[in-house]
Amino acid sequence: MTLYAAYGTNLDPTRMGERCPHSPLQTTGWLEGWRLTFGGEEHGWDGALSTIVQDPFDQVFVAVYDVTREDESQLDGWEAADLGLYRKTKVRVSTLAGEIVVWTYVLDAYEGGLPSASYLGVLADAAEAADAPADYVAALRRRPCRSTGL
DSSP string, 36-48: EEEE-TTTSSSS-
The strand ranges marked E within 18-137 are 25-39, 49-67, 86-95, 98-107
In a domain, 49, yes or no: yes
Residue 53 burial (C-beta neighbours within 10 Å; 0-12, 13-18, 19+): middle
* Domains: count for the chain: 1
Residue positions annotated with a catalytic role: 79
In a domain, 89, yes or no: yes
Collapse the DSSP code of 116 into the 3-class scheme (helix H, G, I; strand E, B; otherwise coil) and give the result. strand
On the CB side of 75, CA atoms within 13 Å amount to 29
Percentage of the chain with pLDDT > 90?
82
In a domain, 150, yes or no: no
Q: Which residues are annotated as a binding site for substrate?
A: 119
Which CATH number does the domain housing residue 19 bear? 3.10.490.10
Query: Residue 149 pLDDT more than 80?
Result: no
Range of the domain at 94: 2-142
Q: What stretch of H or E contains 3?
A: strand 2-6
CB 87 within 8 A of CB 51: no
Going by pLDDT thresholds of 50, 70 and 90, the confidence category of residue 148 is low
Stated pTM of the model = 0.93
In a domain, 149, yes or no: no
Q: Which residues are annotated as a binding site?
A: 119
What pLDDT is recorded for position 59?
98
